[in-house]
Amino acid sequence: SQTIHQWPATLVQPVGSPLSLECTVEGTSNPNLYWYRQAAGRGLQLLFYSVGIGQISSEVPQNLSASRPQDRQFILSSKKLLLSDSGFYLCAWSLAGPIYNEQFFGPGTRLTVL
Amino acid sequence: EDQVTQSPEALRLQEGESSSLNCSYTVSGLRGLFWYRQDPGKGPEFLFTLYSAGEEKEKERLKATLTKKESFLHITAPKPEDSATYLCAVQERSGGYQKVTFGIGTKLQVIP
């Protein structure tokens, strides 16, 4: 069966510090991968998605970036965090291909920027 | 602009009191509608996918239905462990990527 991991689970960072969140998927090959941010009272906001190694699409312009160095690894980064970057970050995967597939989410990372 | 609206925002039920959650959507060409359950501090857990009007899916006390404009999540005789936020999401094709738009969710509380 497939599993998805995210770490760290929680993170408290000062404004202006760098960020690296990691997501890995097990039990599937060539998945589509996604990064979302969930703020209180708001729906999930798609930040990035990837259909393959090195292929990243950005949905929202911001000071965050994403990379996919391996097939089942997805990394969310920032060089300098802003207060507005605080939130709950979720990684998700779906099967690749032309059919329309549900997304499966990881446990999330709670980021607080002070 | 594509929209997904869930109502009510919050719902409080007595244990055993059945009810329905609503998800209305406006997308150009629905490809799929998804329901998720999210517990506090955790990632959403996938429940159902519905693809066409008239389709129904069931899982334990939950039943999801779909029309051309909306979906309902019916909860029959809920238990306290059904307390969670229920998210609806719709999928449409946007270029080569199947764009998914999420609603804000309905926070359900079931009182013993």
| pLDDT higher than threshold 70 for residue B94 | no
Q: What is the DSSP string of A81-113?
A: --GGG-EEEEEEEE--SSS----EE---EEEEE
| pLDDT higher than threshold 90 for residue B7 | yes
Which residue of chain B is at minimal alpha-carbon distance from A42? B104
When mean pLDDT is compared across A42-46, B9-13, B18-22, B108-112, the lowest value belongs to A42-46
Residue B108: what residue type? L
Residue B81: phi, psi to the nearest 5? Answer: -70, -10
Dist CA A82 CA A86 (whole Å): 8
**β-pair type (A87-94, A104-105):** antiparallel
State mean pLDDT over A22-49.
92
- Contacts B96 to A, Cβ<8 Å: 51
| pLDDT higher than threshold 80 for residue A46 | yes
The distance of B78 to chain A (nearest Cα, Å) reads 24
Q: Which residues of B62-93 are buried (b: 16+ CB within 10 A; e: fewer)?
A: bbbbbeeebbbbebeebeeebbbbbbbbbbbe
For residue range A55-111, list pLDDT tens digits in order.
998 888 679 999 999 999 999 999 999 999 999 999 999 988 766 679 999 999 999
